[in-house]
A and B are shown apart, each in its own frame.
Chain A
């Protein structure tokens, strides 16, 4: 169905859920589950007067360092694994093990290794996202078609030109997909790590959880989800602008 034809259903889904939540909230009381109307008020209050924005920005700044490093390491590593059999057999066992390891399980070890400061949070964010970025790039690099590389060679392209004109554009959609998956894992790991060492947005959630009312806590969660969705949408948008052939091709199928 067309996007526009589905719009009323989309809205009905959101509104319906909010109504159910409101009823549940009023029945249970705000010390157990605050209703969305109360959550909205609490969110406004936290954004306008509380520490929400400062803590969030502080956390995101540190997240970007760990996540940025994960992209810088994961993308070339995944590409190298996808193009070189040797690199693949060396790295793959470790990649397979680490990608299924929960970042939370690494917290005790990382606390010992890095203490509880900036390094710790960066390391957790890095570990939580780098393997997904590597794996997605790897899948893309494996799927680069030999016939496209043959075309480039046939026209006399040097290895550097083949990288620039074939490998990079063919990898592009996978790099973006990896970046998006990685970012979501990075955001999750960030809050999780902060709750262990009680700093930043994670600490805010932890402390607010001790409040009598659940309204501010739920407000913090809603804001976090909105930020994650927003970041995801921005990356998706970048992908659509930079690789129109890919989006069009998917729609054509």
Chain B
């Protein structure tokens, strides 16, 4: 890959438990992500892939290594080109849908007229025009996460980081959101790192799927996903899709076994 957008070099992280013992979460992880590539980080819950995402975003300090975006060191510096979509959307409850989408632009000091124009356009694209004055508690889980996605898109980030964004939604809503995310992404292609524990979700969305082991997380295997873009939902029943799904499932199961024994 000659033009890596995002380079992650030798990231390790160990947390201290309350009783003082060490808990290694990530061990010497490196990866490169190309411009406009959609990468899924797939692994069991609590394996450390979310921590990796938070380290890339600069929310969590890394013990070793560094993160480069366009060759520039952004380690430990949030707000430098990365937009994050959080697990349970985490909207600010005192802001309306519009206010939440505007948030990142407001922090950057963008004027009110400009940030409202950008935010209204994004709310329209996620189908929430009529809800711009609604507060988060008045929106369903799926609508909240649409606002969360619009909020991340609003700052026009170079890299979109998504931390199990659909994990808290019901199956039907999750499927709809996946379709909608792809539609948004195809309009405005960004480099995406998408953390998930859903095999089907990863295969359907991504160009590349990195399968992680349980804690401490390391990459077990990388799969290139051959399905053409724009993706159609029908691929989920194609033999190749099912075959890859089975293989990844087996890989994850095998990696869990030692922990059970």
Contacts and interface: CB of A to CB of B under 8 A. Distances in A.
Contacts, number: 70
Interface in B132-186: 135, 137-138, 155
Interface stretch (A74-82, A83-91, A155-163): A155-163
Interface string A226-253: 0000000000000000011110110010
Interface of A: 147-148, 150-157, 161, 165-166, 169-170, 172, 243-246, 248-249, 252
Contacts of A161: 107
Contacts of A170: 94
Interface of B: 57-59, 78-80, 82-84, 86, 88, 90, 92-95, 103-104, 106-108, 135, 137-138, 155
B103 A155 contact: yes
Given A246-B94, A249-B137, A252-B137, A155 B86 contact: no
A248 B57 CA distance: 33
B126 to A, nearest CB: 18
B138 A252 contact: yes
Given A248-B138, A249-B137, A155 B79 contact: yes
Contact of B86 (A147, A156, A165, A169): A147
A153 B103 CA distance: 11
A190 to B, nearest CB: 34
Contacts of B92: 148, 151, 165-166, 169
Contacts of B84: 151, 154-155
B69 to A, nearest CB: 13
Contacts of A148: 90, 92
A198 B78 CA distance: 61
Nearest to B79: A156
B155 to A, nearest CB: 7
Contact of A154 (B59, B88, B95): B59
Is the contact region of chain A dominated by helix, strand, or loop, or is it mixed? Answer: helix
Contacts of A147: 86, 88, 90
Contacts of B80: 156
A249 B94 CA distance: 10
Contacts of B137: 245, 248-249, 252
Contact of A151 (B82, B86, B94, B155): B86
B135 A249 contact: yes
Nearest to B94: A169
Most buried by A among B80, B86, B88, B94: B94
Given A248-B135, A252-B138, A155 B155 contact: yes
A156 B107 contact: yes
A154 B79 contact: yes
B138 A165 contact: no
28 contacts: A147-B88, A150-B59, A150-B90, A151-B84, A151-B103, A152-B107, A153-B58, A154-B57, A154-B78, A154-B79, A154-B82, A154-B86, A156-B79, A156-B107, A157-B107, A161-B107, A165-B92, A165-B106, A165-B107, A169-B92, A169-B94, A169-B95, A243-B94, A245-B93, A245-B135, A245-B137, A252-B137, A252-B138
Nearest to A170: B94
Contacts of B57: 154
A151 B84 CA distance: 8
Contacts of B104: 155-156
Given A157-B79, A165-B107, 9 more contacts: A148-B92, A154-B57, A154-B78, A156-B78, A243-B94, A245-B93, A245-B135, A248-B137, A249-B137
